[in-house]
Amino acid sequence: MLRPGAMTSGVDTSHRGRTAPHPLLVALGTTALVTALSYGLPLEHSAAGVGVAFLAVTYALVLRRDEATIRRYGLSLGGLLEPGRIDVRRLARSAAVAFAYCLAICALVLPPFVVGFRLYWRVRPQFAFTLPDSFLDEVLGQLLVIALPEEAFYRGYLQTALDERLGTRWKVLGAKLGPGLFVGAAIFAVGHLATELRPDRLAVFFPALLFGWLRARTGGIGAPLLLHAIFNLFAALLARGYGLSS
């Protein structure tokens, strides 16, 4: 993985290459593709189809390339997505860092989120803790079908590519950030709106800022991937518990 703060406006950018597609054009084309898939595929297959599309684009742009490029885009996942043998100690260390960041953020963010959730949806005061029919399927689905493809594309490829073009001008709690954080989060939000035409879908802009900060702070997508899945699972738990979904 990249060390924290490795992407700065003053680094050598010769690796970008003149033939690299503009990230905004890639984002536009990818958004159009996944939107078409979300409406064109049968409902039971649409999430998987969208996830495969995100991973295919990320593979074509980054993952099929060399180890240094994969690391630069934060897509190593402790070595899991790099060519060659897996270093178990490196993988365990990367996972421990991701879990530590997620635990700290959840302790800060989830309590006020519950309050906001109840106020926004005007739910009944009673909460009934209800697990889905297959808890393991839901966890794996959120991790592998939703969070991994989206984080690989948005925080791995897109945020890195935008940062390399626009620079990283600010340091926030140890993370070097730039306009790419906000541009990427806005594209993430618009993509969610395009696949499901509900204004509240734009709210994902705010967790996207947190995912982007985590990507910059840790140097990879492991922590934002895990946090993304946790947030989705927690929101689904609240929706079931307050009777908003089955």
d(Cα 173, Cα 104) in Å, to the nearest integer? Answer: 14
pLDDT at 7: 41
Chain segment 188-231, per-residue pLDDT in tens: 999 999 999 999 999 999 999 999 999 999 999 999 999 999 99
pLDDT at 228: 98
pLDDT at 19: 77
d(Cα 166, Cα 213) in Å, to the nearest integer? Answer: 16
Give the pTM. 0.90
Residue ranges per structural domain of the chain: 20-241
pLDDT at 5: 40
Strand bridging mode 175-177 / 170-172: antiparallel
- Does residue 152 contact residue 57 with C-beta atoms inside 8 Å? no
pLDDT at 245: 84
**Residue partners of 92: CB distance under 8 A and separation at least 6:** 78
pLDDT at 11: 39
DSSP 145-182: IIIHHHHIIIIIIIHHHHHHHH---EEETTEEE-HHHH
- Does residue 211 contact residue 151 with C-beta atoms inside 8 Å? yes
- Given a cut of 50, the residues of the chain with pLDDT beneath it are 1-17
pLDDT at 16: 47
d(Cα 10, Cα 39) in Å, to the nearest integer? Answer: 43
pLDDT at 10: 38
- Does residue 239 contact residue 245 with C-beta atoms inside 8 Å? yes
